[in-house]
Structure 1
């Protein structure tokens, strides 16, 4: 690069520029706009939890039906992740960025105004589909837009944004509660997610461009040059034929993720994503319920506990983002699992036998260690472990595994909690960090520092 002008001859020049170019103010803005979708994801998943009791009463739901209602969004996210990852690799990041947010706006408002249980389930499913599509595209974009030095940190920032959203959900619930909305609190909280999604949609429309790396893989060099100019505010000169379209591989089957080259990374990323989701959505989604066990019954105690616990998630999420570049995603996941498992075991063994104030500590430690470690690292690892041509597919696979875990956590936690009580439930959940820890010990893959972009994804993938 000479001054403010970049000369490119091939996609390799584009990849090299992105990996070595320091982020400017506009680059930071684009990352935050991309993370806005993660904020919506987390807000939509957690906004319902503050009113789960009211929803159960309104629709006369058993614990089984309530678990089904809460897991419906995770089911939609599972399907969205499976479809969205492949679609994102084929048509690009920016188009999907806009389409999934439109879906989130419509579904959030539809769920808030749902007249009956069936309509509510339909819109929650559609909301989940939007969430499942958005996560792979957002993490893929951030990975492809960040330089090599900051890639792991920037992708990992999604976890901090997740917990900012959960805290925002609790704060808004406080405001609506004291505004006197009564048993309509959940409708206000869920519906406001549509407002947030609309704001992010407008920002993406005006500020986002296509991923330069995806463009280099799929568009003529002349089009890629225009994207670089709009994104980085530089002048780009092309040497050679800028109208030549890159040769694209034939449709790559999803089984490429389990070929010899990618099997270990896929299993590790998916296992971390699945187990962390199971433990988080069993605990995190039901923090309002757990808070009433610790602080006492009532909406105020429920919201207060939600606010306090998730503040530890913000600290852990942003702390983990900065630690990941230094220690790597795998090591953070290992230590996160160890501390999270011990805190769950301690909370289960001491529940009801120690003062409420001390009962806060193990749950707070769990949220902190989860957000530093496996909560962020599974999906981050997936975003960093595959080249651009299959990155969204691989990230979608990790997202799908995460949603399987969340479905299990959503569905079985209220049933087990109702049947066995909080102590037994917390002890049983220690199986999740144990399985994740064993996977991290067995598979020693670390994406930090790897030259992923220059890996060749061949059609004859089975022989690699």
Structure 2
């Protein structure tokens, strides 16, 4: 595996120690090499993960409260599914719009704008007096969630080095433990409120849980205002070398300067329109897009059915009481999923995304098969075995598909189209989430434990997509690939072979 050339190879230092920038490639190489480091850059990564934390908290905050909502508002199973799925419908729309805006107007502006969605809608959900108010508020909240993920993942990729400790692969994988920390935190809030609220007021538990989401949203918003900055590679890609140099000085502490013989602002490339989504289906990106979407659909179907369905599975299929249901859901997310996610960060740079995703789907295949064979558990030992199988599924999710679907959606695509690649990927995944969250309560009530055989389709699909084409995105420099490609008119004559990305 070849290493990224040091910045001095393309951006020589002056006698005063300043690093000269002549092109967007110099900025990309400076970040990729790991030479550019700084406290603000690390804070930007942490804040981006804070956005992921909020996304997961808001998506899972109704997981336990759905029975109480159904009872309070007198909902049918179809309406209950609509309440659950409304946030995913909103996030589908938000992902498409957000992915396009991230590439068109920049990462910073989108990042700063969407936090208001979380604060306002969390409070509206908490005081909703009817089902339709709750559905609309969760839908708008979903738009914020959908917009946040493309920009957060873009920041994780573009404020990280290409390889080694703190690499793009490790930091995009970090979205996974941030997600599970949020779901664990959500269940911890539920557990604390369960003990604090009088028995007569437990029906209000879901309102406090959803409303509490406004608190961390305000914290992240304040931190963003202080530390956030535009991605230097995006600014350089837009022809603003002076702006990229300023960001490198502010966020990385690197004395970057535009060379005197280079204009500070190069001709600006055309702003991407919605048609930029069509580029995802041109070589060499078509195969990557199809594979990333396929493994993503498999991951999101399995995860939503199991993780968001944990309260239903434990309470209904395993016939456990409310305290056992809350405690088990909390433990499964904290002990198994979060631990797996942390290992996913550690293994991303050394083992890569493909081996970890393949192993993760294989473990999930075994776990769901055993749950299907167990069926309706009877006796403490069998119930414990069933919960451990759920734990194995969540652990594999953490280090495998859960950690690396973002690597597939982002690292195989250059800065100029990273937003739309993540946005399109997330939109398709949210469609899968919507269908899963809507139909899972119906399927679980109608099929009982036979629902496991439906969930089994997820790891089967994921393994099939990975085995058809072994594509490794971790450590791959998509910006360098794009710069090396012939101009469109040249490519039309010579032909452009699709880069396999295997290294």
Q: Distance in 2 between matches of 1:105 and 1:273?
A: 28
Post-superposition shift, 1:27? 2.9
Aligned ranges 1:121-200 → 2 under 5 Å: 121-149=135-163, 150-180=167-197, 181-200=201-220
CA offset digits 1:367-400 (Å, max 9, x no partner): 0111211122222211101000000100111111
Alignment of 1:451 with 2:477, yes or no, is yes
With normalisation by structure 1, the TM-score equals 0.95
Counterpart of 2:5?
A: none
Q: Distance in 2 between matches of 1:295 and 1:42?
A: 25
- CA contact 1:276–1:405 (8 Å) conserved in 2: no
- CA contact 1:63–1:418 (8 Å) conserved in 2: no
- CA contact 2:90–2:141 (8 Å) conserved in 1: yes
Counterpart of 1:236?
A: 256
CA separation of 1:398 and 1:135: change in aligned 2, threshold 3 A: same
Counterpart of 1:273?
A: 296
CA offset digits 1:100-129 (Å, max 9, x no partner): 111111111111111211111111001111
Q: Distance in 2 between matches of 1:158 and 1:189?
A: 22
Q: Distance in 2 between matches of 1:246 and 1:148?
A: 27
Q: Distance in 2 between matches of 1:246 and 1:57?
A: 60
Q: Distance in 1 between matches of 2:363 and 2:240?
A: 49
Q: Distance in 2 between matches of 1:53 and 1:250?
A: 47
Alignment of 1:381 with 2:398, yes or no, is no
Q: Distance in 2 between matches of 1:266 and 1:331?
A: 19
- CA contact 1:139–1:380 (8 Å) conserved in 2: no
Counterpart of 2:340?
A: 316
- CA contact 2:112–2:224 (8 Å) conserved in 1: yes
Alignment of 1:290 with 2:307, yes or no, is no
Q: Which runs of 5+ in 1 are unaligned?
A: none
Post-superposition shift, 1:243? 3.0
Deviation larger for 5-14 or 132-141: 5-14
Q: Distance in 2 between matches of 1:376 and 1:438?
A: 18
- CA contact 2:21–2:256 (8 Å) conserved in 1: yes
Counterpart of 2:85?
A: 71
- CA contact 1:4–1:234 (8 Å) conserved in 2: no
- CA contact 1:387–1:452 (8 Å) conserved in 2: yes
Q: Distance in 2 between matches of 1:357 and 1:249?
A: 58
Counterpart of 1:248?
A: 269
How much is the aligned-residue C-alpha RMSD, in angstroms?
A: 1.9
Alignment of 1:330 with 2:342, yes or no, is no
Q: Distance in 1 between matches of 2:84 and 2:17?
A: 51
Counterpart of 1:371?
A: 398
Question: Rg larger in 1 or in 2?
Answer: 2
Q: Distance in 2 between matches of 1:200 and 1:449?
A: 30
- CA contact 1:217–1:246 (8 Å) conserved in 2: no
Q: Which runs of 5+ in 2 are unaligned?
A: 1-7, 497-503
Q: Secondary structure at the match of 1:173?
A: helix
Post-superposition shift, 1:443? 2.1
- CA contact 1:341–1:433 (8 Å) conserved in 2: yes
Q: Distance in 2 between matches of 1:25 and 1:291?
A: 43
Number of equivalences: 463
Q: Distance in 1 between matches of 2:73 and 2:174?
A: 38
Q: Distance in 2 between matches of 1:377 and 1:428?
A: 23
- CA contact 1:143–1:384 (8 Å) conserved in 2: yes
Residue of structure 2 aligned with 1:111, choices 103, 125, 133: 125
Deviation larger for 423-432 or 295-304: 295-304
Deviation larger for 354-363 or 189-198: 354-363
Counterpart of 1:394?
A: 421
Q: Distance in 2 between matches of 1:114 and 1:405?
A: 27
Deviation larger for 228-237 or 430-439: 228-237
Q: Distance in 2 between matches of 1:264 and 1:19?
A: 25
- CA contact 1:215–1:223 (8 Å) conserved in 2: yes
Alignment of 1:347 with 2:374, yes or no, is no
Counterpart of 1:57?
A: 71
Residue of structure 2 aligned with 1:202, choices 222, 237, 249: 222
Residue of structure 1 aligned with 2:451, choices 422, 425, 433: 425
Q: Secondary structure at the match of 1:128?
A: helix
- CA contact 2:34–2:161 (8 Å) conserved in 1: yes
Q: Distance in 2 between matches of 1:450 and 1:383?
A: 11
Alignment of 1:17 with 2:30, yes or no, is yes
Q: Secondary structure at the match of 2:478?
A: coil
Q: Distance in 2 between matches of 1:439 and 1:193?
A: 36
